């Protein structure tokens, strides 16, 4: 975790290394023993930094500006599922922007491209640059250090950046904070979409016990189809719209709550009495446009069937058959667990028909309410009846004798 925070210091060391390598003294040192030249080079870096005094210092996950010692413009990255916080301190200067801390908004920051004057003029709350940011994410003081913490669930769908700093006289020290985008993923019944690349998420299963699914496109994306609260997609690669009423006869747009482009997303909740009599798969998704390119995030939603009472009629289907696998090859969906066509498939059908015939005749044989199990047809049972009759005749003859 500390690796990302310390990169700012390594960046400065690399610059010093380049300058020293081009100097005459360094070129002269190359002619002597290699170990001596390396030692001299390292000593020179330490001496240069120690004498002049770097205008900042970086340790672990803390960055301190020292503007009295010069100008600085450095950066640090906060990485999803890796590094969540950075502490910023100002030693010997005044904050930039001047109202860095706000009781109402938490942290006030600047655009990453703003200079000193623009930063002071255009400063805005952190939530402006990082939607959903809360003032509780910011703790501490300017002297001891202001700690900025971003929870995993609030990392943005596209990368964001902002800057803070401090100044002393004409010297300015700035720290650019880059917040890496999160990954697209499914957590429970929630699909989080991000826009670093096109992605198909693993399926979410909806049934009477788990009868809701949440789609989070975030402020940087939008749900598709456009009328996603009344229509869904029936195919993965190309969105062919169908109304939800084709799957749920009693569908109402009130089944949806929230907004897909909001931080918490939109949730589709299916009443328990609205599940179809045949399993269906519908597709939901989001699109984003980072760097002027379109990125798509799709999630299959498998809707389990619910048996209807006799005489209730069948439910009109509207989606695809259930998506049983999240595997994808060369852009084609590969469903696992589907019954084979032809070959031995006829035998399976024959057994199912036989089981149904037995059920129609009222035969039983299952356990704990399971489907009846056929033990054989009438011809299979004939030998047992013959044996029983023969035994009865023998017993009668012996008794008569």
CATH of domain 56-179: 2.60.40.1320
**b/e sequence 140-159, b meaning 16+ C-beta within 10 Å:** eebeebbbbebeeebbbbbb
In angstroms, how far is the first alpha carbon of the chain from the final one?
100
Q: In whole angstroms, what is the distance from residue 246 CA to residue 188 CA?
A: 26
Looking at domain 185-303, which CATH architecture does it have?
A: Sandwich (2.60)
Tokens of 221: 């994306």
Per-domain boundaries in the chain: 56-179, 185-303
Tokens of 274: 């609205």
pLDDT tens-digit profile, the chain (401 residues): 333 443 333 333 343 334 333 433 332 233 333 333 333 333 333 433 444 578 999 888 999 999 999 999 999 999 988 888 999 999 988 999 999 998 888 999 999 999 899 999 999 999 999 988 999 999 998 888 999 999 988 899 999 999 999 999 999 999 999 999 999 999 999 999 999 899 999 999 999 999 999 999 998 999 999 999 999 999 888 889 999 999 998 999 999 999 999 889 999 999 999 999 999 999 999 999 877 788 999 999 999 998 766 554 444 444 455 554 443 433 333 333 333 333 334 433 343 444 444 344 333 333 433 333 323 333 333 343 333 344 444 443 434 43
Strands 124-125 and 106-109: antiparallel
Q: In whole angstroms, what is the distance from residue 284 CA to residue 309 CA?
A: 30
Strands 328-329 and 256-258: unpaired
**Identical fold, 56-179 and 185-303:** yes
């Amino acid at each position: 975790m500390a690796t990302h925070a310390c990169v700012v210091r390594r960046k400065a060391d690399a610059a010093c290394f380049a300058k020293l390598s081009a100097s005459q003294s360094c070129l002269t040192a190359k002619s002597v023993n290699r170990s001596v030249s390396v030692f001299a080079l390292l000593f020179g870096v330490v001496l240069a930094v120690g004498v002049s005094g770097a205008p900042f210092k970086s340790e672990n996950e803390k960055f301190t500006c020292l503007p009295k010692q010069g100008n600085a413009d450095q950066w640090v990255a906060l990485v999803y599922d890796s590094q969540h916080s950075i502490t910023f301190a100002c030693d010997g200067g005044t904050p930039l922007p001047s109202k860095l801390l706000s009781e109402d908004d938490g942290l006030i920051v600047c655009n990453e491209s703003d200079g000193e004057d623009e930063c002071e003029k255009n400063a805005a709350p952190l939530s402006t640059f990082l939607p959903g940011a809360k003032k509780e994410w910011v703790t501490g003081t300017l002297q001891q250090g202001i700690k900025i913490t971003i929870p995993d669930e609030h990392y943005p769908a596209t990368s964001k950046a902002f800057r803070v700093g401090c100044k002393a006289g004409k010297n300015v020290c700035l720290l650019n904070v880059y917040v890496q985008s999160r990954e697209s993923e499914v957590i429970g019944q929630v699909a989080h979409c991000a826009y670093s690349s096109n992605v198909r998420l693993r399926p979410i299963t909806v049934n009477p016990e788990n009868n809701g699914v949440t789609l989070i496109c975030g402020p940087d994306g939008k749900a598709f189809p456009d009328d996603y609260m009344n229509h869904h997609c029936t195919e993965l690669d190309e969105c062919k719209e169908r109304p939800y009423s084709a799957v749920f006869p009693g569908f109402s747009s009130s089944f949806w709550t929230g907004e897909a482009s909001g931080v918490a997303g939109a949730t589709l909740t299916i009443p328990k009495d609205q599940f179809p009599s045949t399993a269906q798969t519908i597709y939901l998704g989001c699109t984003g446009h980072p760097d002027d390119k379109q990125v798509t995030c799709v999630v299959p939603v498998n809707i389990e069937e619910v048996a209807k009472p006799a005489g209730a009629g069948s439910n009109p289907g509207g989606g695809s058959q259930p998506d049983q696998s999240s595997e994808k090859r060369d852009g084609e969906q590969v469903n696992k667990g589907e019954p084979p066509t032809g070959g031995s498939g006829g035998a399976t059908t024959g057994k199912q028909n036989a089981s149904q015939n037995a059920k129609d005749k009222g035969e039983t044989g299952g356990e704990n309410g399971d489907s009846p199990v056929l033990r054989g047809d009438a011809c299979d049972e004939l030998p047992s009846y013959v044996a029983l009759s023969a035994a009865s005749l023998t017993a009668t003859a012996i008794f008569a004798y």
